[in-house]
Amino acid sequence: MFASQAQESFLEGHAEAFRVLGGVPTRHIRYDNLKPAVRRVCTGRSRVESERWTLFRSHYGFEAFYCMPGEDGAHEKGGVEQEGGRFRRAHLVPVPDVASLEELNARLATIDEAEDERMLRGKLTSIGFNFRIETEELRPLPTEEFECGITLTPKVERTSRITVRQCYYSVPARFIGERVRVLLRGNELLVFNRRELVARHPRLTRRGAYRDVLDHYLEILLVKPGAMRGSTALAAARAEGTFTAAHEAFWAAALKAHGDAAGTRALIEVLLLHRRLPAEAVQAGIAAAVKAGSTSPDVVAIEVRKAEAAARDSEPEDEKDEPPPWAEENVGRVLSLPQRRAVLPEDRRPPPSVDRYDQLLTRQPRGSA
C-alpha cells in the first residue's frame, strides 16, 4: 500500500513485487491504459509510454501488453479484477484498524504468505506449490536497484519549509534561502544537502498539508524562545510522542527556576542533545536531573553519559549492537561539582614566581648591548 497513486508508487510497487517473486516475468505483463505508464493511446496496440516507465521496463527487461480500451479489452484482463475483489472481501472487510501504512503492509505480507497454502477449487495442489514450479520461468533480478523516486530541487523558504506537490515539509533552519535536493518516493520524502541526509518525512497527499519537526527550528527558538509554546512544531512533537512527559517536567521546573526566556532556552539546550545521543538516554538523563532538583543542561548531559555507559556495560556481549533497555533504576544520583572538588587533596605547593616576566616591562634603547 502507498500513500499516493503517483508514478513513484506505481514503480515502487513493481520493484517490490519482483523482489517478492524473486524474478521478472519473461514474456509480458498485462496492463490497462493507466496514466503512470501510458501518455497517449494510439491506434490498435500502439501506445506512447511515459519516459520513466520506459526506463523502468528497460532496467528490468520485461514487455508490457496493453489491453484494448472499453469493452473490447474487457476479456483480456483475465481474472485479475475478480481476484482483487475476492482478496478485499476475504481479508480487508471490515477495514483493518492500523496505526500506519507500514503496519498495514506488514499485515498484508503475512496474509500473502498464508495464501500460498490455499487450494483452488478443482485443483489438487496449493498456490504456493504451483508458484514454485513456475519460478524457473522467471528472469533473474538486475544486480542494481532502480531508483523509483523523482529528484526535485526546491528552495527553502524563510519559514524553514520546502514546498513539494503543494505540501509543506520542514528542513533544518540553517538551509533557509538555499536550494536542497529532494528525493520524492511513494511513501516518503528525503531531503539531502549534497550527499548528507538532513530530513526525512512521510509523504503528504492532501493539498496544503504540512509537517514540521521540532529539531529543525531549535536554532531559531534559541533566539526567540517566546515562540516555543505556540509553535506548530511543538504541537506535532507532542502528538507524535517525541516530546515526552520528561521534557514537560523539565520545562516546567526550568520555567519556575529561571523564568520564561531562560527556562525555555535551558529546555532547548537539552533538546539539542537528541542530535548526538539516543532518545532513551536523554530521557533518562532528564529524569535524573529533575529528580535531583536540577534544571542545568550540563547536569542533564552528564547524567545522559552516565546512563549510556551504565547501560552499555550491563549489556550481554551478543547484544551490544541492540538499543539498550533504558530504565529509571539504572539512573545514578547527581554529583554536583562542589562535591567532586571536595574529594580532591589540598594543594600545598607555593604559587609560581613571575619575576622573569618583569624583564619584559623594561624597554632597552635600540642599539644597546
Domain, as residue range, for 202: 150-211
Look at residue 356 and tell me if it is in a domain: no
pLDDT at 340 over 50: no
Look at residue 357 and tell me if it is in a domain: no
Q: Is 245 exposed, middle or buried (0-12, 13-18, 19+ CB in 10 A)?
A: exposed
pLDDT at 111 over 60: yes
Asked if 273 and 184 sit in the same domain, the reply is: no
Which residue did the predictor score with more confidence, 93 or 324? Answer: 93
Asked if 222 and 206 sit in the same domain, the reply is: no
Looking at residue 346, what is its pLDDT? Answer: 73
pTM listed for this prediction:
0.76
Look at residue 12 and tell me if it is in a domain: yes
Asked if 193 and 241 sit in the same domain, the reply is: no
Looking at residue 270, what is its pLDDT? Answer: 94
Q: What's the mean per-residue pLDDT of the chain?
A: 87
Looking at residue 160, what is its pLDDT? Answer: 95
Nearest-angstrom CA–CA distance, 368 and 272: 60
Are 190 and 154 in contact, with CB atoms under 8 Å apart? no
Look at residue 358 and tell me if it is in a domain: no
Tell me, letter by letter, the H, E, C secondary structure of 331-368.
CCCCCCHHHHHHHCCCCCCCCCCCHHHHHHHCCCCCCC
Flag the least confident range among 49-58, 72-81, 335-344.
Answer: 335-344
Average pLDDT over residues 124-148: 91
Asked if 65 and 176 sit in the same domain, the reply is: no
Asked if 90 and 126 sit in the same domain, the reply is: yes
Are 25 and 138 in contact, with CB atoms under 8 Å apart? yes
Look at residue 161 and tell me if it is in a domain: yes
* b/e sequence 347-366, b meaning 16+ C-beta within 10 Å: eeeeeeeeeeeeeeeeeeee
Cell of 201: 518525512
Asked if 65 and 103 sit in the same domain, the reply is: yes
Nearest-angstrom CA–CA distance, 162 and 336: 44
Asked if 196 and 237 sit in the same domain, the reply is: no
Strands annotated E in 203-317: 210-211
Q: Is 80 exposed, middle or buried (0-12, 13-18, 19+ CB in 10 A)?
A: exposed
Cell of 310: 551504565
* Interval 155-176: pLDDT, tens: 999 999 999 999 999 999 999 9
Look at residue 296 and tell me if it is in a domain: yes
pLDDT at 236 over 90: yes
Are 7 and 50 in contact, with CB atoms under 8 Å apart? yes
Res. 313 pLDDT band, cuts 50 70 90: confident
Average pLDDT over residues 92-114: 90
Average pLDDT over residues 197-207: 94
Q: How far is CA 188 from the centre of its chain?
A: 8
Average pLDDT over residues 17-39: 91
DSSP classification of residue 100: S
pLDDT at 133 over 50: yes
The residue length of the chain stands at 369
Looking at residue 232, what is its pLDDT? Answer: 94
Nearest-angstrom CA–CA distance, 251 and 262: 10
Res. 100 pLDDT band, cuts 50 70 90: confident
Are 167 and 210 in contact, with CB atoms under 8 Å apart? yes
Asked if 15 and 121 sit in the same domain, the reply is: yes
Res. 45 pLDDT band, cuts 50 70 90: confident
Res. 318 pLDDT band, cuts 50 70 90: low
221-230 long-range contacts (CB < 8 A, ≥24 apart) are 221/264, 221/268, 222/265, 222/268, 225/260, 225/261, 225/264, 225/265, 225/268, 226/260, 226/261, 226/264, 228/264, 228/267, 228/268, 229/264
Nearest-angstrom CA–CA distance, 122 and 124: 7
Are 248 and 284 in contact, with CB atoms under 8 Å apart? no
Cell of 94: 471490515
Look at residue 362 and tell me if it is in a domain: no
pLDDT at 339 over 60: no
Asked if 271 and 306 sit in the same domain, the reply is: yes
Asked if 128 and 229 sit in the same domain, the reply is: no
Residue 112's φ and ψ, nearest 5 degrees, are -65, -40
Asked if 228 and 128 sit in the same domain, the reply is: no
Number of domains in the chain: 3
Asked if 33 and 90 sit in the same domain, the reply is: yes
- Helix H or strand E encompassing 304: helix 297-314
269, 267, 224, 261: which is closest to 246 by C-alpha?
Answer: 267
Q: How far is CA 323 from CA 272, 279, 282, 317, 320, in A?
A: 20, 10, 13, 13, 8
Look at residue 367 and tell me if it is in a domain: no
